[in-house]
Amino acid sequence: MYAWLWRHLPGDMLQRAGIALAAVIVAGVLLWYFVFPWVEPKLQFDHGTVGGGTSAPAKPSP
Amino acid sequence: MRIFIRSVGELCVTAGVVLLLFVAYELWGTGAYTQAQQHKLGDELDRSWKASAGKVTTERVRLGHGLALIRIPRLGKSFHYVIIEGVSVADLRKGPGHYPGTAMPGQIGNFVVSGHRTTYLAPFNKLGDLRGGDKILIDTRAKQYVYKVTSTKVVQPSDVSVAAPVPERPRANPTKRLITLTTCNPKYSAAQRLIIFGQLISTTPRVKEAS
């Protein structure tokens, strides 16, 4: 797959490398700033509360 | 066929790299969000305290908003966070959260605060370093409360009794002014909870700002 992409990139070796690097960086930025912040709240690794209550806190006392 | 298998392999490697990046994001990227929220909530708290200096209000802190400041000298000068009202996932992403319904700072009963041990700036990362006698300072608009650590404990996540007005005696009537901090244990896991118990030792009124 990557070999096929590489063959279809325009330009010489240097240009191809540049384009590939830019694509990797763009993908990384998209993941870091858009995809991960969106995915992260849906996963739960570390929640310090007791009672398993992630969103259901103790009932307010009167 | 060979190309197909090779592509699957390449995709697997790519997925692995993306997952590694996600782990890095969890550990370090999430802190940026909390930092920004803490700044915002800190400013908000500051403004509301200044605005109400010298006045008395019965207004209750809304969920998701700042409630008080926490400082723990043992964990360094830079340890100061705004405590949020609420312990939902969204609340704890902003900073340590106060269990709604448990006592407010300085009140008789148990002031229960929960925070992340890792990720989201990891406010309670070093809670394991606390020893008996360490001070926990809680600043509110009117007063500064100084709590002293009395004991630490590791419990199961289902053990809600630590958040009772009298910890571990859910039916008892509270007579003391207590604080309880909860966080994940061990680090990078959610298998247990590390609990810090403390008791109020002094209350200092804050000087009223000239208004």
pLDDT 10s digits, B148-170: 999 999 999 888 889 999 998 88
Query: Domain limits at B58?
Result: 6-205
pLDDT given at position A55: 39
Q: Residue B120: inside a domain, yes or no?
A: yes
Interface A-B, measured as beta-carbon pairs within 8 A, has a size of 101
Beta bridge partners of B149: B198
Residue segments in chain B with a per-residue pLDDT below the cut of 50: 210-211
pLDDT given at position A52: 52
B50: closest CA of chain A, how far (Å): 28
Q: What is the mean pLDDT of chain B?
A: 89
pLDDT greater than 60 at residue A43: yes
How confident is residue A41, by pLDDT bands cut at 50, 70 and 90? confident
How confident is residue A11, by pLDDT bands cut at 50, 70 and 90? confident
Cα B60 from Cα B38, distance rounded (Å): 20
Q: Residue B211: inside a domain, yes or no?
A: no
Q: Residue B1: inside a domain, yes or no?
A: no
Residue B32: CATH number of its domain: 2.40.260.10
Cα B89 from Cα B133, distance rounded (Å): 31
Q: Residue B186: inside a domain, yes or no?
A: yes
pLDDT given at position A21: 95
| Candidate from A40, A48, A55 with C-beta closest to B114 | A48
Residue B117 designated active-site: no
Is the CB of residue B182 less than 8 Å from the CB of residue B112?
yes
Is the CB of residue B169 less than 8 Å from the CB of residue B161?
yes
Residue B39 designated active-site: no
Residue B193 designated active-site: yes
Q: Residue B194: inside a domain, yes or no?
A: yes
- In terms of pLDDT, which residue wins out, B64 or A45? B64
Residue A34's SS3 state is: helix
Q: What is the ipTM of this complex?
A: 0.75
DSSP state of B107: S
Beta bridge partners of B195: B153, B182
Is the CB of residue B146 less than 8 Å from the CB of residue B156?
no
| Candidate from B10, B99, B101 with C-beta closest to A1 | B10
Beta bridge partners of B98: B85, B113
**Between chains, do B18 and A31 touch, taking CB under 8 Å as contact?**
yes
